[in-house]
Amino acid sequence: MEKLTNKEEEIMHILWKLEKAFVKDVLAEIKNDKPHYNTLSTIIRNLEEKGYVSYR
């Protein structure tokens, strides 16, 4: 698996905490430097392509 960026790692911690979440749920949990909704969606899609996240 590819190494995670700092932002991807931050998002993974949120996803582990929430277990299941929509993009809006993850966005609500981000404290500092909130990305735009579409940017966050792309990051999560990249995590899926890297094999860290599944939408099922």
pLDDT (tens digit, 9 = 90+) per residue, 3-25? 899 999 999 999 999 999 999 99
Q: Residue 5 has what pLDDT?
A: 93
pLDDT digits (tens, 9 = 90+) for 20-56: 999 999 999 998 899 999 999 999 999 999 999 987 7
Task: Note the pTM of the prediction, 2 decimals.
Answer: 0.87
- pLDDT value at position 26? 97
The domain spans of the chain are 6-50
Contacts of 25 (CB under 8 A, 6+ apart): 18
User: In the chain, which ranges are continuous DSSP H helix?
Assistant: 6-18, 23-29, 37-50
Which residue do the tokens 């190494």 mark? 3
- Position 54 scores a pLDDT of 87
